[in-house]
Chains A and B, each alone.
Chain A
Amino acid sequence: MAEKRTDPMAYQPGMAMITSDIRDKVLINVDNYDYSKVSARDVEEALKKDHLSMEDYGALLSPAATPYLEIMAKKAIIETRRHFGNSISLFTPLYIANYCENNCVYCGFNCKNKIRRGKLSRAEMESELEAIAKTGLTEILILTGESRHHSGVEYIGAAVKLAAEYFATVGIEIYPLNADEYAYLKKCGADFVSVYQETYNLDKYQQVHLSGPKRVFPYRFDSQERALMGGMRGVSFGALLGLDDFRKDAFATGLHAFFIQQKYPQAEIGFSTPRLRPFINNADNNPNDVHEKQLLQVMLAYRLLMPFAGITISTRERAGFRDHVIGMVATKISAGVRVGVGGHEQEEKGDEQFEISDPRSVTEVHEMIINRGLQPVYRDYIRV
């Protein structure tokens, strides 16, 4: 018997509502975005500008822009160098727990999946953090699945406090919280929050987030704003490209970040570009498949929309892709990555969320950055 599905617009108990018009502004614009109407001329006009309008940004994400990828890249590299010089920041994620209450059809941590679950004890966290700190990294991203029961805010807070002893920068990529909870984690030492909307298409969103707190679309949408209200310094955005129409989702992601930056001009803005990989050699290639070309197009469009935003390149991508996008469009790269629970010092306590394509160590990534004429940056933050 099928589970009864809840209304994805209805808040669940404990989820605080904030007043904001950003969601409406993003969704209306996405509704009106029709990339099939974009002409080569529109793309050329957009490429002439220093500051993109929403229409220009939409043009750069359209199929009409595909032949202009090289020109976009040339423009992007100038912007990236202007804002970041040749600096490339290094960090690594640490999964502290993989318990999850969400039923998201595409995710390895799905609560229905029979995977090995686990969470790190304080001692285990400490030895993991110590092992990571020994690699020279000073920035860490703490991750969990979504389970207030197994990995509650206090548990995450304890991890953040510990991490702040070893690392200059602590980011969190956890389930959405209320503003006061973000304020608590800020006090514990976290300064950056990543929340990915996955898709901005509500219909698709509810088809793939079947149950659990993540099913609530607007609560997730407002996460970055609540994080900033809680005093966080920076927020990251991302859609899981390929889950739905990636062009529309990338358009929405850019606008989401754009409106947040307008309302909170002090916020540091970041983008990530996770994608669902298309099957290689699949004869029925879907026009919405996100191959490397499309992935790069999205990254370049983000860069040209917000030249000052950090863009992270994930280990989901192969080394050859990652090595070429840093400096051109990406400004931040992970290294020495484990995506199971723990696994840096001790054996993994829980299974992995996804497979990585670039297992290189910090030293290897460091050398690659140097060989490409770029400057690895370990530290770029002071907690004050």
Chain B
Amino acid sequence: MTDQLVIGGHPFNSRFILGSGKFSLEIVKAVVENGGAEIVTLALRRANLGGEENILDYIPSNIRLLPNTSGARTAEEAVKIARLAREINCGNFIKVEVIRDSKYLFPDNYETIKATEILAKDGFVVMPYMYPDLNVARDLVNAGAAAVMPLAAPIGSNKGLSTRDFIEILVNEIAVPIIVDAGIGRPSQACEAMEMGVDAVMCNTAVATAKNIPLMAKAFGQAIESGRNAYLAGLGRVLTEAEASSPLTGFLED
């Protein structure tokens, strides 16, 4: 049986979602191929149709584009950007990002739910970037989200799974794929997230700021696969104390 990631009815073999906005466009192809990514996000605001250095010209055609609504500060702006993305043939996947905080770039969960509802009704496969809050995640699912993308730590911080406990709750409670987005700094952290049972990991800065970007993409791809396999295999027991050789309950008779 193949282990596929299914988002909005679309199957993917890779669980590595790659951000594309922080490194040179000429290496996008190599990075995507090395990481084995099948989904690549792009900020629609960077799409310079027919102009210089248009990111869309650099993403291989067999890749599923995941345009994001970066720059949107309200649900209304996110909806407009999403519709623009569809108009310029970026497909119907949309990563909703609504941010009105220029310092930490934290998502505005409330506006995100509103945008998700509108866009899901409009036929988009909506993947909202969110702060990991169980109530919000449930609301997003009810609003029609095809996946939820909780942050591990502030964007670009490379701090790893700072919100681990909260993401774990989402993994246990939410039926749509959980994709950890933002804050993952090392392949080992991506692996840890996957071991925990999240469905995919999205990564941008950690890859983009490496010395050898394609090689780091490869490392992430392997770590994510490895973490997934570990999850599927079922992790061995972790005990905090040595196991007593004579069980405490050994005295019991029938």
- Is A bound to B? yes
Interface residues on chain B, size class = 20 to 34
Q: Contact: B46 with A86, CB < 8 Å?
A: no
Q: Contact: B102 with A375, CB < 8 Å?
A: no
* B residues 37-87 in Cβ contact with A at 8 Å: 43-48, 51-54, 71-73, 77, 80-81, 84
Minimum C-beta distance from A78 to chain B (A): 8
What 0/1 readout, one digit per residue, does chain A (363-384) give for beta carbons within 8 Å of chain B? 0001000100111111111101
B-contacting 9-mer, from A196-204, A209-217, A236-244, A266-274? A266-274
Choose among A306, A378, A382 the residue that contacts B51 (Cβ–Cβ < 8 A): A378
The distance in angstroms between the C-alpha atoms of A375 and B23, with both chains bound, is 7
A84 on the B face (CB < 8 A)? yes
Nearest A-chain residue to B209, judged by Cβ: A81
What 0/1 readout, one digit per residue, does chain B (80-118) give for beta carbons within 8 Å of chain A? 110010000000000000001111010000000000000
Nearest A-chain residue to B24, judged by Cβ: A375
The distance in angstroms between the C-alpha atoms of A366 and B24, with both chains bound, is 13
* A residues 316-362 in Cβ contact with B at 8 Å: none
Q: Contact: A380 with B102, CB < 8 Å?
A: no
Interface of A is mostly: loop
What 0/1 readout, one digit per residue, does chain A (58-78) give for beta carbons within 8 Å of chain B? 000000000000000000001
A37 on the B face (CB < 8 A)? no
Choose among A266, A306, A370 the residue that contacts B101 (Cβ–Cβ < 8 A): A266
Q: Which residues of A contact B46 (CB under 8 A)?
A: 377, 379-380
Q: Contact: B71 with A378, CB < 8 Å?
A: no
Q: Contact: B100 with A82, CB < 8 Å?
A: no
The distance in angstroms between the C-alpha atoms of A378 and B57, with both chains bound, is 14
Interface size on A, residues (CB 8 A): 33
The distance in angstroms between the C-alpha atoms of A83 and B103, with both chains bound, is 10
B189 on the A face (CB < 8 A)? no
Q: Contact: A384 with B77, CB < 8 Å?
A: yes
The distance in angstroms between the C-alpha atoms of A308 and B102, with both chains bound, is 7
Nearest A-chain residue to B101, judged by Cβ: A265
Additional pairs, 14, CB under 8 Å, beyond known A81-B208, A82-B156, A267-B102: A85-B205, A86-B22, A87-B22, A265-B102, A268-B102, A366-B52, A377-B53, A378-B51, A378-B52, A379-B47, A379-B51, A379-B54, A382-B71, A384-B80
What residues make up the interface of A, taking CB atoms closer than 8 Å to B? 78, 81-87, 136, 138, 168, 233, 261, 265-269, 306, 308, 366, 370, 373-382, 384
